Structure 1
């Protein structure tokens, strides 16, 4: 994109599709697929250029696979993409870390007070030390912002049924050998992995991920569907359609454990 926009908003794309397969059901209402776009870069005038957030991933293998799925849905079910605006994405990330960090601290503090904190890995202890810097005012402000963000999303869901993004901004990263002993704190990797899941996690929206292929290294790629509250049926119907018409054959990883069979 070549337009500029105020840094408090982001641009997305809306897709309308219908005529689902018989497996989904004739009474399934029209679905709207929403693809995010993020704001990147800066300028002396404090106006920043835009490029699709949907493609803001560590590897283009991820965005290409998800784009292919959307293209197939468009061809098969008739999608029409339009742009939308969602405010305050940066603030949402801050509210998310304050909320989830405060809840994690409250859950683990009793164990730490009982002397069990030494059992935690070093990266967990580091995170808890950060979370202890949050104040009650920070938490209250995050919850007020959460309510505001929920309002924005509910306004969008008046015209949109399902938000679609890649599940993660990167495929599974390598685990450093030292991490098995002392843990790992890598904010860049964490940011890439969590980039697209913050909305559903903070706002408690129903979401599901569907495997849609593999990158060049054979690592799995997922696409995420987020729905409005109490609309799990809608995202499950669309997930079933994607699995039926778009997903690639599954591959077992080199190290595989079937938790159902216990082997």
Structure 2
């Protein structure tokens, strides 16, 4: 069956995965996966979609950090290129793959960030190569680099990307702030963040963090501080009263500016 013959009706019992910015969609895609084993593909209903990412469910797992290809009849306003073509092909980097059970069957909820029409040359040489996001292009597609090591499963997935964030010191035990600094994240998860920041905060101290782009505000505890020669220190913060909405980074058209997203991560 070709993609133009799709019946765009989601299967019965298919769970919806959408944020508050989601609209109801009626779309299917061919998902092609390569890597260590034999390449495989699957036709599935897309549950969340934007110009820079998508969410869907597969019957087999994907490796986080690997590249996969989606082929679908996507609406013109959600495309970064090929707006006049009938079919849209896009490569995505897997950001999460969570096992679940639907109607007694094991499935995998997958989220990808779109990186472009064709994969990097390194993927052609090694389909099992892993990648991590380091920012965003002006057209809304994500920038990636090769990962030196394979992804290690965590309870909360960590995303290596640059997002502007404000960190503020608190006055004593009050919630009032005394000093604040505009920072850039190194990596972030739902429960914490690593930021490049010169603010004189020490381990165990409480600070306030704010990310206007994702309307996120929380108190956090400094869990570690790393001094680095001729570079900004890095603060490792654990969020106390809120969880960062990482799903919005890939499943919605977030407002990150190209001026920020073109910055590289400093290891």
Same fold (TM over 0.5): no
- Kindly indicate which of the two structures has a greater share of residues assigned to helix: 1
Higher relative contact order (Cα pairs below 8 Å, separated by 6+ residues): 1
Q: TM-score band, normalised by the shorter chain?
A: under 0.3
